Chains A and B, each alone.
Chain A
Amino acid sequence: MTQARLELVCPAGTPAALRTAIDAGADTVYCGFADETNARNFPGLNFSRAEMAEGIAYADARGAKVLVAINTFPRAGAEALWHGAVADAYAAGAHAVILADLGLLAHTAERHPGRRIHLSVQAAAANADAINFYAAAFGVKRVVLPRVLSVQEIAAINREISVETEVFIFGGLCVMAEGRCALSSYATGRSPNMHGVCSPASHVAYSEEGADLVSRLGGFTIHRVPKAVAAPYPTLCKGHFTAGDYAGHVFEDPVSLDAAALIPQLAKAGVRALKIEGRQRSRAYVAEVVRTFRQAVEAEAAGLAIPASDLRRLTEGQQSTAGAYRKTWR
């Protein structure tokens, strides 16, 4: 049986990546302004106001849509920066803004009535009641589901809500409930919620100690590997630690999410859109991943098997997981 085609939502950290993603088959691209209003506030990434307008024009001309992520939690005393980002995104012609903060949702619903709002994964709306609250209170039209749910749970949620759901299908994997994690803040003072960064490069140090290569974050050792081995980036929750008699990856191995094999189940579960993580990744990465998932989505829509892919080499540590989509992960 053929089903409605899933929407493919792809990352763009730069205007060039936006064009690459659309050319490779993205239905929709998400991006952010070059400041702390979005959760990938990395040096050299993101869009000026003029670049955003140009990017949206490029998408419009090709029948694609642009979503603007304004998904950090506005700083007390500085909310005008976030309010301006919402107004500018809509003025530039964005299809929707992606928001997480209650206050910013309330502001946007009041000041921009009728404009489309998506709920960011950073809001961690993990059940139908939470989603129905956001829909009723702020008119949210789509929810990006947190990576804590199994496919069965996603199906159950979709039976109880009337808004669209979007799920992560590939890329970086948060093992903590998104938008509710202060691990990076604890180690470095810089956090996803407040600054749009996690385990920032500014606080990373590598050092050779004897036969080891050690990577530290904020002075805390995250990995210690033999010099000959490529040291993984010291993302805090993927670190190697000890706890009692246990030594290893206490929270999660250095792996990425790859749920391509679950696309048919996710479609049956009523999911509307698949999201690829990675606004910080290169154009080449975006092109290859988007092209691969375009084929997968077309195969799914035609009722064919999902083609095997060779994306594993692009994932963190060349390892992948289906995460919480399979219940045994917990």
Chain B
Amino acid sequence: MELNVGPLLFNWPADAWSDFYARVADEAPVDRVILGELVCSKRLPFYADRIPQAIERLERGGKQVVLTSLALVTLPRERRAAAALLAPDGIEVEINDLTLMRWVEPGRRFSIGPLVNVYNESTLRYLAGQGARAICLPPELPFASVEILGKAAGAAGIGLEIWAFGRVPLAISARCYHARIHGLTKDSCQFVCDRDPDGLDVKTLDAQSFLTVNGVQTLSHNCTNLAGDLPRLAEAGVTALRLSPHSGDFVGVTRVFRAAAEGRITAPEAEARLSCLIPPMPLSRGFLFGDRGAA
């Protein structure tokens, strides 16, 4: 089972960004790291100049590096950046907005991220036929669908990844909710999303934690944890796990999943250790095995 670190979803200061990837490069027992800006193109200038260094260090640490696209491409500069990502000699790109399919040339190495709607065999086969190396499934899918798509991915000869750790991306918008909550608009946002390293809790009027706002993105309040399900997932044809970065000891999180992948740790042990490594948030298997994501 491969372990993949997903793109950092939150707006961390550039130094924290660099430190995070340095530590992952040097210490995390993972196979692949997907980095770059997924959520908001306004954040990218703060750390864009640090990306080449991070890539070099990650590769030196034995990790395969993949660059993510934006989740929602609308502006002209975002379109240009999307096209540039797929330049012929570049490294693998994870497509998270189908806009980029316009620029995929035959032979270009790419994969499909969790924000692209792959719900069925025909879609999986279509993307495999266009050259996708692997597909990370949308987190909303139930296990019954994963089992069917596992077989389809095996038959198509591509990798199949699922969302295994982290708050779940639920929605993306043109509107910035961090800005709205602070009485600002997206164009004058003052980058207030940098105040919440794991997103801003949204609670119901009964004070029940419900959702998490991250700029234009809305995430679950709970944090997926599938560390106890790895044999079952492998049997279903899952070849890789997506671990989505959070504050706390994320390298510790990757170690728990490596131990789980190697059968060195039980599910309750994994859960107990994970809870100590991350900010307080409930762990959940709701989308995959429950009757809803919040379960």
Contact = CB atoms under 8 A, between A and B. Distances in A.
A153 B149 CA distance: 37
Interface stretch (B30-38, B167-175, B252-260, B270-278): B167-175
Most buried by B among A102, A153, A183, A240: A102
Nearest to A157: B74
Contacts of A241: 202-205, 210-211
Nearest to B104: A133
Contacts of B97: 130
Interface in A147-196: 148-149, 153, 156, 175-177, 179-183, 185-189, 191, 193-194
Contacts of A136: 102
A218 B173 CA distance: 23
B18 interface: no
Contacts of A9: none
A153 B75 CA distance: 8
Nearest to B176: A330
Interface in B80-123: 82-83, 97-103, 115, 117-123
Contact of A148 (B125, B144, B173, B294): B173
Dominant SS among interface residues on chain A: mixed
Nearest to B150: A76
A189 B286 CA distance: 9
B218 interface: yes
A133 B102 CA distance: 5
A305 interface: no
Interface in B159-211: 168, 170-177, 180-182, 185-187, 200-208, 210-211
A176 B203 contact: no
A106 B176 CA distance: 34
Contacts, number: 220
A222 interface: yes
B23 interface: no
A183 B99 contact: no
A76 B135 CA distance: 15
A130 B140 contact: no
Interface stretch (A47-55, A88-96, A242-250, A270-278): A242-250
Contact of B175 (A103, A220, A329): A329
Interface residues of B, number: 74
A329 B101 CA distance: 29
Contacts of A208: none
Given A74-B122, A251-B177, A221 B99 contact: no
Interface string A203-223: 000000000000000101111
Given A153-B74, A182-B293, A220-B208, A324 B175 contact: yes
A106 B203 CA distance: 41
A239 B295 CA distance: 20
A62 B186 CA distance: 46
A112 interface: no
B173 A102 contact: no
A101 B148 CA distance: 17
Nearest to B196: A244
B145 A243 contact: no
A185 to B, nearest CB: 5
A2 interface: no
A77 B119 contact: no
A250 B171 CA distance: 14
A188 to B, nearest CB: 6
B264 interface: no
A193 B102 contact: no
A298 interface: no
Most buried by A among B168, B187, B213, B218: B218
A220 B204 contact: yes
A240 B145 CA distance: 33
Nearest to A324: B174
B220 interface: yes
24 contacts: A74-B120, A76-B152, A101-B117, A102-B127, A103-B126, A107-B122, A129-B79, A133-B98, A136-B102, A148-B74, A148-B174, A176-B218, A180-B172, A182-B170, A191-B140, A220-B208, A221-B208, A223-B205, A237-B171, A239-B204, A241-B204, A247-B205, A250-B181, A251-B175
